[in-house]
Amino acid sequence: MYLQDYFWFMLAILACMIFSGIASGKVKTSFNKHNATRCRSGLTGYDTVNRLMRTNGVHDIAIGSVRGFLTDHYHPTKAIVNLSESTYANNSVAAVAVAAHEMGHVMQKKDGYGLYKIRTALVPVVNFGTRLAMPLVLVGLLLDWFSATADANTGFYIAMIGVILYGGSLLFALVTLPVELNASHRAQKMLLAEGILTQDEIPAAKEVLSAAALTYLASLMTSLVYFLRFLVRVLTMFGRRDNRR
């Protein structure tokens, strides 16, 4: 039974890995495809964020540059939008779309977008939970196997705490997907409204942003598989324990 469960788990993980690889490849392909097209406005990624900040009344956020390819991110606690080398000084349709996406996150915070607030609140929980989840699951199972003096339910409770903590990362991934989609939707509207991209350039920007969204879907699928694996494993092990008594 264990080998059968493990087989299905590995099959699911393999499917997630394949999907993740396809998603990552699509992001690079879409970006490179539209990176060859200069936007008619001539604005770079930096120019895009700078203009969108001014027109939307954002005056307390800095714009920085970070190394790497598509390593762009908004850091709310440091109040900075970091643009990657592939975006910062690039005036392609792809670069402008990515830069505007990060500005979408800035506007989510400014507008008090509910799911964005939830995701931000989950960050410390996820960082804490993912470090302790697996050790707690293992400790719980070990207590059940080797501790003759402990409370019969102690191991189960500890293991379930580990499962719940890991569930925090699943919740984070679940909330992240709509947050990213919303940021992309905001980006497209702002780009068109400010004349940074024209109507016929928007489909290319949408293609780049939609491809990026697939990577968050892949992350959600992987988190779900691991969470179910932890949960089923703990319930199965302790179910067998109860049947032996």
Name the residue with tokens 């606690």. 77
For 153-177, b/e burial (b = at least 16 CB within 10 A) is eebbebbbbbbebbbbbbbbbbbbe
- Cross-strand pairs, 81: 63, 74
Q: What are phi and psi of 65, to 5 degrees?
A: -125, 135
3-state secondary structure 35-75: HCCECCCCCCHHHHHHHHHHHCCCCCCEEEEECCCCCCEEE
User: Residue 180 catalytic?
Assistant: no
The answer to whether residues 167 and 153 touch, using CB atoms and an 8 Å cutoff, is: no
The one-character DSSP state at 148 is S
3-state secondary structure 70-82: CCCEEECCCCEEE
Choose, from 85, 102, 194, 207, the residue flagged as catalytic. Answer: 102
Q: Which residues are catalytic?
A: 102
